[in-house]
Amino acid sequence: MPRSNEAAFLRSVLQNNESAATFCEALFRISQTLDDLIDKDAAVTDAAVIQAFWEALIELPANPFYRQHEPYLRPLMASALQDWRDSACLERSDNRHYKTLAFVLRDQLATVVTQCAYLVGGYTWMNKVSLPVRQHIHEDTLDDYLNDLDPAQDEGYQADVNESLNGGDS
């Protein structure tokens, strides 16, 4: 993400609930900035960092959909962030299995969108849109993902990864 049809897609699967779609869009932008900062695969301007913090600290908590469903959404967001963090560590290992696991873990915002669909439309609606949501968000193939991993890794970050994979506190 984002794709050219992302806004329309989100509004479709979220039954045109504007605050739910706006919540998801903000979450995507925040997570993309974090990903770019950690992976260092795209330049991130100071303005983009400030905007991501603004969205995370001001806009997202003020979103009406988030405010209404915060006790339900916040644990999902925490889980998605931890899964993404773990994937960022695992994809830098030399182990193909760990890299494959990273591929599975990296886009858990699909779960957040699926649960937003549940919150706006109930169980039947969630089941109707959950596969299209995953197909939309998980657009990369495993082979493409593995081929795109950068073999040149930052030594400091790799040390953190090694410590994490070996049970360290970081």
- 140-166 pLDDT, tens per residue? 899 988 888 865 555 555 666 566 556
Question: What confidence tens digit (pLDDT) does each residue in 49-66 have?
Answer: 999 999 999 999 999 999
Q: Is 30 a member of any domain?
A: yes
Alpha-carbon distance values, 50 to 21, 29, 55, 61, 155 (Å): 22, 12, 9, 16, 27
170 lies in some domain = no
Classify 17 in phi/psi space as left (phi over 0), alpha (psi -120 to 50) or beta: beta
| Contact between residue 49 and residue 33 where contact means Cβ atoms under 8 Å apart | yes
Q: Domain total for the chain?
A: 1
Model confidence pLDDT, tens digit, residues 5-47: 899 999 999 999 999 999 999 999 999 999 999 988 889 999 9
Let me know if residue 29 belongs to a domain: yes
Question: Whole domain around residue 45: which residue ranges?
Answer: 6-165
Query: Would you state the pLDDT for residue 99?
Result: 93
pTM (predicted TM-score): 0.85
For residue 22, is it within any domain? yes
> Has residue 118 been placed in a domain?
yes
Indicate whether 114 belongs to any domain: yes
Q: Is residue 98 part of a domain?
A: yes
> Which amino acid, one-letter code, is at 154?
D
* 1 part of a folded domain: no
Distance, CA of 53 to CA of 142 (rounded, Å): 31
